[in-house]
Amino acid sequence: VAGCGPAFAAMFLESLADGGVKNGLPRATAYRLAAQMMAGTAQLHLASGTHPGAMKDAVCSPGGTTIKGVAALEAAGLRNALISAVDATLQ
């Protein structure tokens, strides 16, 4: 998780930024926003110990854009892809 995680996190950051660019953000801005969001979320978890699922739920308004994005990630298999990536590092 820790050894390979930076590569996985970098891929996640790059993908978020690509989504931002696709929807009109300048690339530098998209990278900065994605990186700051990732750093802030990690810092919040480390400082509070809040379960990641609770952190997700806290920002998902009923019928809102975030829960729609979460549903799209689930449908695309993000969770399974990440678990499989960790599994692959042990084989």
Q: What pTM did the predictor assign?
A: 0.90
Place of tokens 């806290």: 58
Give per-residue pLDDT as tens, 33-83.
Answer: 999 999 999 999 999 999 999 999 999 999 999 999 999 999 999 999 999
pLDDT at 91 exceeding the cut of 90:
no
- Count of residues making up the chain: 91
Give per-residue pLDDT as tens, 25-39.
Answer: 999 999 999 999 999
Hey, what domains does the chain have and what are their CATH numbers? Answer: 1-50 (1.10.3730.10), 60-91 (no CATH)
pLDDT at 90 exceeding the cut of 90:
yes
**pLDDT tier, 16 (very low <50, low <70, confident <90, very high otherwise):** very high
Place of tokens 């689930």: 74
Which of 42, 45, 37 lies closest to 20 in space, CA to CA?
37
